[in-house]
Amino acid sequence: NEVVSTPGTTGESGSGLGLVICKEFLERNQGKIAVESTPGNGSTFIVTLPSSLPDPSISASL
């Protein structure tokens, strides 16, 4: 497991598309994303990908 955090990035800004794009990418590649959130303490995002990605010709046909 790798933990990535950026201190000082607790502000709310942006279009909100980042997680939607991540979720779509992960689902197309047989991955998953989950979140654990504690009010006042922050959120942890868990990203899971298979050890080998699917055949690109299959993804291209989607």
| Cβ atoms within 10 Å of 23's Cβ, excluding its own | 14
Q: Which residue has the tokens 């979720």?
A: 23
Identify whether 41 is part of a domain. Answer: yes
Identify whether 3 is part of a domain. Answer: no
Count of residues making up the chain: 62
Per-residue pLDDT tens listing for the chain (62 residues): 555 555 555 566 677 788 889 989 998 888 999 999 999 888 899 999 888 766 667 655 55
Tokens for 48, please give them.
Answer: 């899971």
CA distances from 31 to 39, 41, 42 (A): 27, 26, 23
Residue 49 lies in domain: 34-62
What is the SS3 assignment for 29-52?
A: CCCEEEEEEECCCEEEEEEECCCC
pLDDT at 24: 92
Identify whether 46 is part of a domain. Answer: yes
